[in-house]
Structure 1
Amino acid sequence: MKKYVRGLAIVSALTLAVAACGSKPTDNASGGSANKDFKACMVSDSGGFDDKSFNQTSYEGFQAAIKAKGLTEVKAESKSDNDYPTNMTAMVNAKCKVIVAVGFKLEDATDKAANANPDIKFAIVDSAPAKPIANVKPLLFNTAQAAFQGGYLAAAMTKTGKVGTFGGIKIPPVTIYMDGFAEGVRYYNKQKSKNVQVLGWDDAKQTGLFTGDFEDKAKGQNTGQNLITQGADIIFPVAGPSGLGGLQAAKASNGKVNAIWVDTDGCVSAAEYCSVLISSVNKGMDVAVQDAVTSVVDNKYDSKQFVGTLENGGTSLAPFHEFDGKVPAEVKTELDQIKADIISGKITIASKAQPAAS
């Protein structure tokens, strides 16, 4: 997997000019850029911009805003959690006009930077300040809704009667997926008088399997194999790059095990695993990030939190791709009805990790 420069390196729009960690960033916007003096900045979490998951999806939206508005891009890719305060400070020192933080783990660094720099606009993916901050826009997603569909789909497609899930770290942006998945399986069992088991997560007790990080693919593969050994023939990794190891375990089964991906359409972001991906639970971070950056350029920024839902397209079930002919028409119809029933409120989801409605 290609890796960008990690840690405290600061990458500008067109070239990298950093001699050592912590060096002052240099900016090289093209002369024809419409807003070349406008610096839009982003800090990743420790998964990095090429995680084939939420950092990558958020960065794609960031790049779309840069291109559409002719901005100067500055970004900092974090190697570990210890990098967040330093990378955020680097963005402030680079005189960014908007800073996008990717991930729940950047909450503290973002809040401190925003309070100390009220003239800079911030947006953060998957987090919201405990008390609203006038220059911080939370970008939240009720992925339990689409994960509910994913759980139903897994229950409908399993041949062993067992499906499994595991997370990276036990934080709300992870457990919300696992909750929705488990609730969707339970709904299938109730509707069909079945007893499909969920391995790896007990949503009532909020206990289950976690790799402990989002980076270690080997841990993800071992955890996925653990679920497979217990009989799961469909797995649902919620662990960023670590989760790719779970997809590798599924692929190694030679057709016996399949998976459902998260955050983005796995057949696009991790095409090498498309043959085992029934679908993916999408989180529309790209659109939300692009809108947040654009709003600052257009002087339309506000700090009201955005919540992505099935209704507004902020979360969704991805196409079935290679499984389109394998998912029964009846199941497709039922998934559409579930979406309508969640939107209308006929189906309610219990997960306490769901963000409050905006």
Structure 2
Amino acid sequence: MRKALVAAATLPLLLTACGAASGTSGSSSKGSGKSVILITPTPVGTDSFLQLSVAGGKKAARELGASFKLYESHDPTSIAQNVDAAVRAKPTVIIGVTFSFDDVLGTVPAQHPSQQFLEVDSCPKKQATNLTCVAFKEHEAAYLAGVEAGQLSKKHKLGVVAALDSPFIHRWIDPFFAGAKSVAPQTTGTPLYVGGGNPFSDPARAKAQAQTLSASKGADIIEAAASGGNQGVFQAAAAGGFKSFGVDVDQCKLSPGNVIDNVLKHVDVAEYNAIKDVAAGKSGGYKIYGLAENGVGVTALDSDLASSGCTVASDPAVVAKVKQVRDDIVAGKIKVADPVTGA
């Protein structure tokens, strides 16, 4: 996805930057001998998903009395360089976040069997025994958001501004439209993509795509699935013409009155649990968090909905319907298709 390459000669500079971005969990780490290294595919910046991963890693490190270091990558080359640097540091666990690590963690763990690895949000097809994986059923939560959108849209025209056109990203797109059509069959949906050299953090491009969906396609509700670019969608919504949905975390307060709800993914909780398990010697395996495991959801299901700032809080009938659909999905009465597996 990211074509820019970092020359090998920049490795010392890169590792220095990693060190500068790192932090420790406090004096309690000095005697434990444990350490956690988290590697991101891009700089954390305003990316709410990566911010959650950092929060989960830091929380686990604090409770383990371990040090915590953050290595921020920029492209596939720097991902590989950061993984190599982390292996040489020999921490308790090395964490790679997102499918951007599928290639490197498909080979490196087998080459270093005494080192524990964790991949968050994906897993290589060939998983080594010293690699633990956690992932999510984002499509289940996106379906719930669609159920809300289908009830609230007056034009029955929806849009999604997504980072990329890929099977994984379609987990936020196809189920969103399917959920809407389940309650309003006349609904139509159009996705547009940020793309370019920085698809996950380009608010200007995301804003332009949202404006196109509203002005040219007539969408009155648009889901923002562009990571760090979501703010651009919210800015377009604030200018009038449509309402929006956020993703990963509660983003309603970022644009008061303009965000209906959020497709939530509790990355910090899943990562925290996995790190604790690895540190306790329970490594390996592949755990997937869905609605049943409370690993995904929407803000409408949360106990603090009233104070969230999400506009769906003022529609109790919509909230009641979402709770019913959630229960039906968990009970197996409703099957949400996964765009990645096709099942």
TM-score of Structure 1 vs Structure 2, range by shorter chain: 0.7 to 0.9
The aligned runs of 1:62-77 (5 Å cut-off) are: 62-77=57-72
- When the two structures are superposed, what TM-score results if normalisation uses the length of structure 2? 0.86
Q: Which amino acid is the alignment partner of residue 195 of structure 2?
A: T
Q: Which amino acid is the alignment partner of residue 292 of structure 2?
A: E
- Equivalent residues, number: 323
Structure 1 residue 34, shift from structure 2 partner: 6.8
Q: Structure 1, unaligned stretches of length 5 or more?
A: 1-6, 9-17, 201-207
Alignment match, 1:315: 296
1:338 to 325, 328, 335: 325
Tell me the alpha carbon deviations over residues 267-303 of structure 1, each in whole angstroms, 9 at most, x when there is no partner.
3xxx33243111101111101111111112222x231
Relative to structure 1, is the Cα distance of residues 61 and 266 closer, same or farther in structure 2, using a 3 angstrom cutoff?
A: same
Tell me the alpha carbon deviations over residues 27-59 of structure 1, each in whole angstroms, 9 at most, x when there is no partner.
86644337542111110112x223342111111
Q: Distance in 2 between matches of 1:232 and 1:111?
A: 41
- Helix, strand or coil at the partner of 1:287: helix
1:178 to 163, 173, 176: 173
Q: Distance in 1 between matches of 2:224 and 2:96?
A: 23
Say whether residues 1:22 and 2:8 are aligned partners.
Answer: no
Structure 1 residue 342, shift from structure 2 partner: 0.7
The aligned runs of 1:1-358 (5 Å cut-off) are: 20-23=13-16, 25=19, 30-33=26-29, 36-46=32-42, 48-190=43-185, 195-200=186-191, 209-212=193-196, 213-229=199-215, 230-253=217-240, 256-267=241-252, 271-299=253-281, 301-319=282-300, 320=305, 321-323=308-310, 327-353=314-340
Structure 1 residue 329, shift from structure 2 partner: 2.0
Q: Which amino acid is the alignment partner of residue 263 of structure 1?
A: D
Q: Is the 8 A contact 1:266 1:274 kept in 2?
A: no
Relative to structure 1, is the Cα distance of residues 29 and 37 closer, same or farther in structure 2, using a 3 angstrom cutoff?
A: farther
- Helix, strand or coil at the partner of 1:275: coil
Q: Is the 8 A contact 1:100 1:122 kept in 2?
A: yes
Relative to structure 1, is the Cα distance of residues 20 and 275 closer, same or farther in structure 2, using a 3 angstrom cutoff?
A: same
Q: Which amino acid is the alignment partner of residue 84 of structure 1?
A: I
- When the two structures are superposed, what TM-score results if normalisation uses the length of structure 1? 0.83
Q: Distance in 1 between matches of 2:266 and 2:341?
A: 16
Relative to structure 1, is the Cα distance of residues 116 and 139 closer, same or farther in structure 2, using a 3 angstrom cutoff?
A: same
Q: Distance in 2 between matches of 1:217 and 1:287?
A: 27
Q: Which amino acid is the alignment partner of residue 280 of structure 1?
A: N
Q: Is the 8 A contact 1:40 1:74 kept in 2?
A: yes
Q: Which amino acid is the alignment partner of residue 249 of structure 2?
A: T
